[in-house]
Structure 1
Amino acid sequence: MNAPADIDVRPITEAEYPEWLRAVRAGFLREPVVSAAELEARKGQFEPGRFIGAFEGDRCVATFRSFAQEVTAVGGRLVAADAISAVTVTATHRRRGLLTRMMSQDLAAAKERGDVLATLIAAEYRIYGRYGFGPATSGTEWTIDVPRAGLDPRGPDLGGGRIDLVEPDDVRKLGPELHDRMRRATPGAISRDDWWWQLNTGAVRTDPKWTEPFFAVYRAPDGTVEGLMTYDVDEKWADTMQPANTASVRGLIASTPAAERALWHYLCSIDWVTRVRSGWRAPDDLLPHLLPNPPAAGVSMHADWMWVRILDVVRALEARTYDSEGALVLEVLDGSGLAGGRYRLEASPDGASCTATTESADLTLDVRELATLWLGDESAVRLAALGRVREDRAGAGRGADALLRTSRRPWCPDMF
C-alpha cells in the first residue's frame, strides 16, 4: 500500500477529464467506461481549477468537483455558495486521507473567494460532519393511491386558469423565470444554470437511458406561468386487463398554492393512472392535504437532503431574516479554523447584525450544528437534549429557537 504522499491531489487539466470521469463512474459503482457521446455531452461542464483528482501515476483514484451556486436564505436573500459534487474515492484507495486533502483544498479556495457557505448532498451520513457540514434540509416522497384520494376524476376546477402540455423548448424558455420566483420564496432552494435546464429537458444527454418526460404548465387566469410539473408514466395492466399505471414526478415547481393544487389534481385525474409517486418534496409539503382523503398519500421515503457548511458566520447570520427580536452570543467551534469564534447576533424583523465579541456565550456549538440551525429547520433545544449544543445560559436554547426557527420548513428541490 502506497503512502498518501505518493498520491498527487490537484486540480485536473482538461486532457485528464476523461480519466477523471472514469474514476467518478468507478467510485459510484457504475461501469467505469466513458463513452464518446457522454464525454462530448459533458465537455461544457468542465471548469478549470474546480475539478480535483487524486492521481497515482496516470490513474485517477479519487474525484471531487465544486461549482458556483446560490442558496436562498430565510427571507429570500441569495447567498453565494460552493456546491460540492462528484465526490468519490476508488474502493482500492480508501482510508488514505484523500477526501480530507481534496475537501481541504476546495474549502480553503471557497473561503478565499468569499463564498458564505459550502453545500452538498450527502450519500453517506457519517462522512461529512467531520468537515463541518450539517444536514440543513430534508425531503419526503409520497405515493398516492389515486382511487382512494377522493378527487373528482373529471379533473381540477381551474377557475379560469389552464394546464397545457408543452415541449422541451418551451420549458427552457418558461422555466428559468418561474424557478427564480419559486426559489426566492423557498429557504434552501438553489440556483439552476443553463446546463441544468438543458440536461433536464434532453438538449444535453449524458445518460443513454434518458427518456423524454411529459411537461405540464399551469397558467393563471391572467396567463402568468405559475407551475411546472415534469413526470413519466409507466405501462402496466392488471391481470383483469385493467390499467394500473404509475405516474412518477421528476419535479414540480410552483409559485402559488393554486398552481400546486391544480397540477396535483391534474396528474391524479389522468385516465389509467392509479398511483402517483410525488418525487422529492418538502417535508411539510401541501400535497397530502390537497387531497380530500389525505391518508391516500402514504410516505414512501424520508431522509436528510442538502447539507450546509458555514464558511462565514457573520455574513450567513446577517443574510437571513428574523421574525422576532432578540440577542444571542454563540461560541462556534470549528476544527478546520475556517469559521470558529464567538459572535453576538442581534436580530429583529427590521434586520440583523453579527459581530465578534468577548462576552460570555449563551450557546456553544460546532459549526456543523450552526449549519443545521441556519435555515430554521432544527431546534436548538432538541440539539441540546442530544448533547450536540451546550446551553451556557439557562433558557438560551428556547431563545435561539424563537429567533431561528421558521414557519415553513426549508426545502432544496434539486440533486447536485
Structure 2
Amino acid sequence: MTPRADIDIRAVNEDGLREWTRALQTGFLRSPEVTDVGLEANRGAFRPGRSLGAFDGERCVATFRSFPQELSVGGGATVPADAVSNVTVSPTHRRRGILTRMMARDLAAAKERGDVVATLIAAEYPIYGRYGFGPATSTSAWTIDVPRAGLDPRWAGPADGGRIDLVDAADVRKLGPELHARLARQQPGAVSRDERWWQVNTGVVRYGESWDEPFYAVYRSADGEVDGLVSYEADDKWDAKQPHDTADVNWLIAATPGAERALWQYLCSIDWITKVKTGWRAPDDLLPFFLPDPRAARLTTHADWLWVRLLDVVRALEARPYDGHAAGGGGRGLVLEVVDEAGFAGGRYRLEVSPEGVGSCTPGVRDAAELTLDVRELAALWLGDESAVRLAALGRVREERAGAARMADALLRTSRRPWCPDIF
C-alpha cells in the first residue's frame, strides 16, 4: 500500500499521551483501555520530543519512543546510545511506511545529538535490518531439573565464606545500582539502568493495577562486598503429596563467578523447588557447568537479543578494547568499506590496533578496501559476538583480499561473548 500523506507524525505532548498509550497497548495486543495507573507509568517515561506518534486524524495509529542509554563495550568503556522502544503500528495501518518515517526521524536526531549507536530489542527478526540494525548479542534461557542436577541436598550456604540473605525491595534499590555498574564495566553489551529501571522492577512504578512482590536475595562475599542479587518468584504445585514447585528468575546479576555460583545453588536448594527457570542469560553462561550434571539444565531458548545500529563508525571502533597480541602482536590494520543506504555511517575506514590493544579508526581513506560489508553486518561484528568468516560464508560480507575475514575476527572477537542482561 502506498504511504498516506495525511498520516501526521509528530512528537507527543502531555495532551496526546492518553491517546498514544491507547495505541501502544493496541499494538502490543493488550487491552486498549487506558487506566490512570498505566497512564502515570507512561508519563514517567515520557521525554519531550522523543515520544513520537503517527496520527490519522485524531486517532494515534503508531507509536515510537527513544531514550538516552549508555552501552558497555568492555574494558570499562561505554558509548552514548539512542535506545528505541515502544514501537507499534496498528493493524489497520500496516505497510504504509509509517515506521520508516518515524525511524528516520529518530535516527537523524540521534546522529545530530552525537549518539554513537542506536539500540533496541527486536520483537520480530525481519523488521530492523532494513534500517541498518544488526543483531549484536544473543541470549539463552535454561530450565534446571533440580533433582537431576546432582547438587548436595545438605547445602546450607556458600563454602567460600560468603553469605546469602533475603532482602526487601528498598534494599534492592539501594544496593542494586552500584552492583550493576560493576557488572556493566566488565560486560560488553550491558546497558545502563537508571533510577526508573529499579523503580519499575521493584514495584514502585506499576503499569498494571496489581503487583506480586517477588523474592530478593543478595550474596555478600566474605569481606561483606555485595557481589550478587537475584529477583525470583515461585509457584505452589503439589501432586500426590509431593511438591513440584518452580522458581522463576526475573533477573540475576553477579560481579564474580563465585557470587553467580552461590545464587544458582541457593535457588536450587530451596525446599519444594524442583525446577528453576533461569530467565534471560548470556549465550555462554557459566550456569550449566556449575551443576554436577550440566544436562540437568535444559536449553529452552536461544535467540538474538540486543540489536545495534552504528551512527558513528570512528567513535564506535575506537571506544572498544582489543587484544593486540591476538591481532598479531606487532599491531595490525584492516580497511573496511561500509555500505549504509541511509547515509549515516557509510564510507571507507582503516582500523588499526596497536600491540597494547588500542584501536584507531581513520575515515575517508583511499586505500583499497579489504572487506566490504553493510552497516548492519558491522554492527553484528562490533561487540565481538559474530564471526566475519561465518558472515563471508553466508555471503553477507565480501572479502576483497583473501584472509581479510580472518583478520577481522582476530581484531574484533572477544574471549567471552557480549551479553545484554536487560529488555527495554
Is TM-score (shorter-chain normalized) higher than 0.5? yes
Aligned to 1:211: 212
Aligned to 2:328: none
Aligned to 1:291: 291
- After superposition, residues 32-51 of structure 1 pair within 5 angstroms as 32-51=32-51
Q: Which runs of 4+ in 1 moved over 6 A?
A: none
Is 1:181 paired with 2:188?
no
Aligned to 1:249: 249
Aligned to 1:266: 266
Measured after TM superposition, the shift of residue 153 of structure 1 is 1.6
> Any gaps of 5 or more consecutive residues in structure 2?
325-330
Amino acid at match of 2:374: D
Amino acid at match of 1:256: T
| Distance in 2 separating the partners of 1:231 and 1:372 | 32
Question: Which stretch shifts more, 112-121 or 31-40?
Answer: 31-40
Task: Show CA shifts across 1:305-361 (max 9, x none).
Answer: 000000000000000011023100000000000000000000133411101211100
Aligned to 1:90: 90
Q: Is the 8 A contact 1:74 1:376 kept in 2?
A: no
Measured after TM superposition, the shift of residue 45 of structure 1 is 1.2
Secondary structure at 1:250 match in 2: strand
Question: Which stretch shifts more, 12-21 or 282-291?
Answer: 12-21
Amino acid at match of 1:287: L
TM-score (norm 2): 0.96
| Distance in 1 separating the partners of 2:321 and 2:60 | 44
Aligned to 2:171: 170
Secondary structure at 2:206 match in 1: coil
Amino acid at match of 1:19: E
Secondary structure at 1:410 match in 2: coil
Amino acid at match of 1:277: K
Aligned to 1:333: 339
Measured after TM superposition, the shift of residue 75 of structure 1 is 2.4
Q: CA RMSD in A?
A: 1.1
Amino acid at match of 1:346: E
Measured after TM superposition, the shift of residue 159 of structure 1 is 2.3
- After superposition, residues 197-208 of structure 1 pair within 5 angstroms as 197-208=198-209
Q: Is the 8 A contact 2:137 2:418 kept in 1?
A: yes
| Distance in 2 separating the partners of 1:267 and 1:182 | 21
TM-score (norm 1): 0.98
Measured after TM superposition, the shift of residue 14 of structure 1 is 1.3
| Distance in 1 separating the partners of 2:351 and 2:285 | 31
Aligned to 1:359: 367
Aligned to 1:406: 414
| Distance in 2 separating the partners of 1:41 and 1:121 | 20
Aligned positions, number = 415
| Distance in 2 separating the partners of 1:169 and 1:139 | 29
Query: Percent identity, aligned pairs only?
Result: 68
Task: Show CA shifts across 1:261-315 (max 9, x none).
Answer: 0000000000000000010000000000000111000101111000000000000
> Any gaps of 5 or more consecutive residues in structure 1?
none
Q: Is the 8 A contact 1:381 1:397 kept in 2?
A: yes
Secondary structure at 1:299 match in 2: strand
| Distance in 1 separating the partners of 2:30 and 2:271 | 37
| Distance in 1 separating the partners of 2:47 and 2:284 | 37
Is 1:376 paired with 2:390?
no
Secondary structure at 2:242 match in 1: coil
